[in-house]
Chain A
Amino acid sequence: MSLADASLDIRDGELLAVVGENGAGKTSLMNVLYGLYQPDGGQLSLGGKPARFKSPRDAIARGIGMVHQHFMLVPTLTVAENVVLGREPTRRGLFDLERAVSEVAATCARFGFQLEPRARVDTLSVGSQQKVEIVKALHRGAQVLVLDEPTAVLTPQESDELAHVMRGLVAQGRTVVLISHKLREVLGVADRIAVMRRGRVVAEVRPAETTVEKLAALMVGEGHPALGMAASGRAREPSSGMGLETNTPPPGDMLAARPASRPSVDPTANTAGELLLEARGLQALADSGRPALRGVDLTVRAGEIVGIAGVDGNGQRELAEVLTGLRPLTSGEGTLLGGPLAGLTPARARERGVGHVPEDRLLRAVVKALTVEENVALGRHTRPPFARGTWIDFPGRRERTRDLLAAYDVRPPDPTAFLRSLSGGNQQKVVVARELDARPKLLVVVQPTRGLDIGAVAQVHAKLREAREQGAGVLLVSLDLEEVLKLSDRVYVFFEGRVTGHFTRPQYDERELGRRMLGAGTDHA
């Protein structure tokens, strides 16, 4: 159930932003609007008349276009072929490529896009691919253009350009619906903002009448029972059975977790000790084969949280992979927990005491089709209490899992449940529990709270602080600058595979940090 009685008006010629937490139903609502999903109840009307979209074909016919978060382009076809697909120009029954190229070129020119119609899509940059998506919708005569999280994958420059494009479309009389959770960005560009929470539209506001803080409060809900940091000693509800998600967060102080209000800095935090990681001139390639790290120097000491800030795609992900043995270095050297960084494998990294909370939970951190206890054992399955020699230690594994599920308040606390039956937040708690239980000396954490509800976020943050207080070094990579600043004792700013800034608490200057994230402080910025 991702939509529960959601109502939304979209007005002609406006730029409407729809904001909400992950899972609030933004994308589902738009998919209903676009005919991809059929609503179980309720009504859709367009221009005052009821409309029923059985498939995207109907929606397209009524002038609705959608740019999906994950691009819907056929990589092996050209720009022109992608744009005209489904309404191909023909001559005597044959596909008329020349006319397709000229039509697409005309559309591009009309809306001011720079695209080569004959280029194969898989040769284009992400920003250009997004333009192809927009052209695709406009080419179909879209009057209403829906963009789902369009800036998630863009560089800041590309984001600015996109904002310009969106305003331009509205100026031409078209309607743009922007789905986002980046509140600051939304405030800068939208005419009107709709806030969604748990499948409903809970508020509609104008940017002039609101602030980031107010929007955030609307997103999580006023009077929302708030959250605590640690889970110890709290009575838990009885298990609600497999697959049922209990959405009630534990009681506590919600203000502590609200993204906009930063808690006061813990004065005892920065008692950094032994050098755990020292890296000089790290270089590595991205999956695409292009350089992702271009000479990174950094250190992490015991007892500190080191944050990595940066816009997505500037090498942070690859750094985490290098440190956990998943990605080979092409150059540079370093010492990680007493051993060389070169030639590191995931197994060696774990042996030395590196813990890892990966970014893509379902792909990298857990195996959905294994049970919770098997997932807890994953990576430590060769050691007590999970194994005795060659054999799996079933009682030991069960007991340790039960303890961890209780300590981290995972619901349901059933070690034999399949992991896929847990909610995202509970899955992430299992991952954090597993990694911290191994008592890592260095913990590499990437986007640890993405997609989690606010209760789980607070709990994960508390556990990271706890790890630091117990003497671990934590390297925190997050695209959420608030999160980085809230937790970190020191922050490295990444831009295009280089460190462009280094800040130590409490000298955090957000404006300066932002400038460094956009490349200021480097020669070519």
Chain B
Amino acid sequence: MSEPVAFDRRDFIRGAAAAAFAGGAYALVGEKGDDMLWQLDPNKCTQCGRCTTHCVLPHSAVKCLNQFNICGYCDLCFGYLQPGSRDRDTGAENQLCPTAAIKRTFIEDPYYEYIIDEEKCIGCAKCVKACLVFGNASFYLQIRQDICINCNECSIAKACPSDSFMKVPAHTPYIYLTGDFESTISKPSGDPHQPQTTLGPKEESAAI
């Protein structure tokens, strides 16, 4: 195996192939060679509910967010309450969420805070749709990057009817809504995506 071999045609082919790999690799990585993660664009999302069922994980990596600076803190929250529910309270029969993942807390009259329990949320988007239709649209879906296993082809992306899924660079892994939901972000690059723009640098590091 270690005997010196004369340089022959096959050595040349091997050398050429190795060089082609190196050159090709360099050209491919280039500037676009970021690590990419899947994310969904809340502006394109139509709340069809497929995120719940099409993720390869037993519990979908897509979860709901409530962006507090958009939330109206309404007493009559359509994202929280079942349409036509008799009482505005935390009774199970009044809740829209099938897994009771939204926690309603009284803040001050007439405001209530709504916090989503990550463990329970299944990403069904029922609350998202209701808040979009009747409220401020502060609920929206995002892929939780700590849960997502980043499949090479996302199964939900394949099933998504509105083409909301895209790959975003790993350093900006979320697409936040800003306060102005009419002209929110739809492209994975640009300042509005930087977490500090919408959240402030302090908030980014501090998690609940």
Q: Do A and B bind each other?
A: no
